[in-house]
C-alpha cells in the first residue's frame, strides 16, 4: 500500500496552516474552504454543518467520512 504525506494547505483567511475544511465555502462560494483553528472557531457557514477536520484521505468531506477507522481494524 502506498502512503503519502499530509498536505499543509494555507488558511483562506490568513495563510496560517489550515486544520479545517468548510464544505459550504467549496460548494456554494467557489472558495478553497481551508481554515486555521482560529478562523474555524469564528466561521459562520453552517449550511453543510460545522467545518470538518482535515484528514489525509481523498474521501475527506464525502458522505460523512471523518478519518480512518480505530485500530485494530
How many domains are there within the chain?
A: 1
| Residues 60, 66: Cα–Cα separation, whole Å | 7
Question: What pLDDT, in 10s, does the model give residues 35-71?
Answer: 999 999 998 887 888 899 998 877 776 666 566 677 7
* Residue 4 domain flag: no
Whole domain around residue 42: which residue ranges? 20-53
Q: Is the pLDDT of residue 22 over 70?
A: yes
72 preceded by a cis bond (ω within 30 of 0): yes
| Residues 65, 52: Cα–Cα separation, whole Å | 10
pTM for this prediction: 0.74
Q: What was the pLDDT predicted at 31?
A: 94
Q: Which residue in this structure is represented by grid cell 495563510?
A: 15
* Residue 12 domain flag: no
Hey, which residues does 53 pair with through a beta bridge?
A: 20
* Residue 60 domain flag: no
Beta strands in 1-73 (DSSP E): 20-21, 34-35, 52-53
Amino acid at each position: 500500500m502506498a502512503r503519502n504525506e499530509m498536505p499543509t494547505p494555507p488558511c483562506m483567511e490568513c495563510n496560517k496552516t489550515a486544520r479545517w475544511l468548510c464544505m459550504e465555502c467549496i460548494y456554494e462560494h467557489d472558495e478553497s474552504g481551508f481554515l486555521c483553528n482560529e478562523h474555524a472557531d469564528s466561521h459562520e457557514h453552517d449550511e453543510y454543518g460545522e467545518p470538518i477536520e482535515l484528514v489525509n484521505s481523498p474521501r475527506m468531506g464525502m458522505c460523512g467520512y471523518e478519518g480512518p477507522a480505530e485500530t485494530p481494524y
